[in-house]
Amino acid sequence: MKILALETSAKAVSAAVTEDGKVLCSGYQDTGLTHSRTLMPIVEGILKNTGLTVRDCDAIAVSVGPGSFTGIRIGVAAAKGLAFAAEKPTVAVSTLEAMARNVAHMEGLIICAMDARRNQVYNALFRSRGTGSPERLTEDRAIGLADLAEEVSAMEGPRIVLGDGAPLCLRALAERDIPCVAAPPQLIMQNAVSVALCAGEAALRGGLIDPQALAPVYLRPPQALPLRDRQ
């Protein structure tokens, strides 16, 4: 099964094509340019380099959140557009689940964290045995750093932190003398390759959906939402 995957949930942007779990081609950019400028050129480049078109792919996958509100909207909109035009199904992938897949070869408690401001992180916890997909321990959520530290302090094994919220988590855990390590630099951020690998497994479980049903997952309303609308 060929999957075209998009990842736009944070500062970096990436795209990848996989076939039955094998990476055929990927592109990654973290230069501060907006995803609206960089995403589609990356997609066009990897498809050209593999000699494929969107119609040659069996599904379009995208990280649907949590993460940057603008970034998620761009990724979901792009995935919908590609899928509608090529008449392909889509796969919605949790940003945090895809991040955990980055370090599936490492054993321990995986602490995925994205900076959610207000002294919180978007977080999910996973347990990795070093082989296969990590086991999910919690749902995706927005959680305070103090509450997260208290929760993971009672969990056994090495603690591996990754995501753009890793510095916040590492500091919060260190202040409470909770041992932890950061994921390797090349694996610490989101990447479309992991989105594609998660999507492939989801597709086998019946996770293919119509692009019309594809929707962002924000976990909480944008800060820019008017107070009246929040109430």
Number of Cβ within 10 Å of residue 34's Cβ equals: 12
**Residue ranges in the chain modelled with pLDDT below 50:** 223-227
Domains 2-96+189-230 and 105-183 share a fold: yes
pLDDT digits 0-9 by tens, 127-176 = 999 998 999 999 999 999 999 999 999 999 999 999 999 999 999 999 99
Contact 194, 98 (CB under 8 A): yes
* pLDDT value of position 220: 73
| Dihedral in degrees, nearest 10, Cα atoms 176, 177, 178, 179 | 150
Instruction: Domain 2-96+189-230: give its CATH architecture.
Output: 2-Layer Sandwich (3.30)
Specify the DSSP element, H or E, that contains 144.
strand 141-144
Give the domain ranges of the chain.
Answer: 2-96+189-230, 105-183
* pLDDT value of position 221: 63
DSSP alpha helix (H) spans, the chain: 35-50, 69-86, 95-102, 145-153, 166-175, 192-204, 227-230
pTM for the predicted model, two decimal places: 0.93
Question: Pick from 173, 185, 218, 203: which is nearest to 88 by CA?
Answer: 203
Contact 146, 176 (CB under 8 A): no
CATH number for region 105-183: 3.30.420.40
Q: Residues 222-226: contacts with CB within 8 Å, 24+ apart?
A: 222/69, 223/117
* pLDDT value of position 125: 98
CA distance linking residue 74 with residue 76, whole number of Å: 6
* pLDDT value of position 224: 44
